[in-house]
C-alpha cells in the first residue's frame, strides 16, 4: 500500500523552511500532499488561490509531491478522503512543540489511525516564519535567501501595491 502523508498549513506564504520540510518529507513517503488551508486564527496576506499557486510553483521540481486546497474542513477528514495515514508538520522550537502537541493530540482524538510525524526545522531556517518574513520584506529588508523565487517575486509585487 502507498504511504501517503498530508502536510497541512496556511503557507502565507511558503518559506524556505516549509520547502526544506517538504523536500525532506517527500523522501519519507511514497506521496506527499501539501494541503493549503485556512488558519482561522490568522489573518492572511495572500488569498487562498495565490497561496496555492505559489506552493505549486515552488514544489514543481519534486516528483512525488502534489498540492491541494480545501474549503473549511477538518484536517483529519481531508486526510481520510486522500487515503493519507500520516500528517507531516515542522517544529522550530519549544513554542512550536507546545502548539503542535495540542493539534496532534486533538487529531489523534478525532482519528487515532492517523499518525502525526514531525521534522525538526533545519538550523538555517529555524528562526524564520511567514509572519516575520512578510514584516521585514514590507519594510524593504533583505530576506531573499529565505524565500523560494516565485514567493519572493509575489511579495515584491505586494510591497509595490502597498506602497502605492
Please indicate whether residue 42 is annotated as part of the active site. yes
Please indicate whether residue 18 is annotated as part of the active site. yes
Please indicate whether residue 159 is annotated as part of the active site. no
Q: Which of 56, 58, 130, 134 is catalytic?
A: 130
Please indicate whether residue 130 is annotated as part of the active site. yes
Q: Which of 2, 42, 66, 144 is catalytic?
A: 42
Please, what is the minimum distance in Å from the beta carbon of residue 43 to ligand ADP? 11
Cell of 13: 506564504
* Binding residues for ligand ADP (CB under 6 A): 9-11, 15, 17-18, 21, 39, 42, 89-92, 96, 100, 121, 125, 128-130
Kind and range of the H or E run holding 7? strand 4-9
Q: List CB contacts of 101: < 8 A, sequence separation 6 or more.
A: none
d(CA 9, CA 122): 18
By the 8 A CB rule, do 121 and 92 touch?
Answer: yes
80 vs 100, beta carbon nearer ligand ADP:
100
d(CA 116, CA 114): 7
Catalytic residues: 18, 42, 92, 130
Amino acid at each position: 500500500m502507498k504511504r501517503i502523508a498530508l502536510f497541512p498549513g496556511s503557507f502565507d506564504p511558503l518559506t524556505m523552511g516549509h520547502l526544506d520540510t517538504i523536500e525532506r518529507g517527500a523522501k519519507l513517503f511514497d506521496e506527499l500532499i501539501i494541503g493549503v488551508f485556512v488558519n482561522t486564527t490568522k489573518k492572511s496576506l495572500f488569498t487562498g488561490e495565490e497561496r496555492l499557486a505559489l506552493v505549486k510553483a515552488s514544489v514543481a521540481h519534486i516528483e512525488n509531491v502534489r498540492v491541494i486546497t480545501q474549503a473549511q474542513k477538518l484536517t483529519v477528514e481531508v486526510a481520510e478522503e486522500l487515503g493519507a495515514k500520516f500528517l507531516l508538520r515542522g517544529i522550530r522550537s519549544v513554542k512550536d512543540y507546545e502548539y503542535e502537541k495540542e493539534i496532534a493530540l486533538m487529531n489523534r482524538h478525532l482519528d487515532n489511525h492517523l499518525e502525526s510525524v514531525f521534522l525538526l526545522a533545519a538550523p538555517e531556517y529555524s528562526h524564520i516564519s511567514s509572519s516575520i518574513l512578510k514584516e521585514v520584506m514590507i519594510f524593504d529588508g533583505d530576506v531573499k535567501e529565505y524565500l523560494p523565487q516565485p514567493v519572493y517575486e509575489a511579495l515584491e509585487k505586494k510591497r509595490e501595491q502597498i506602497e502605492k
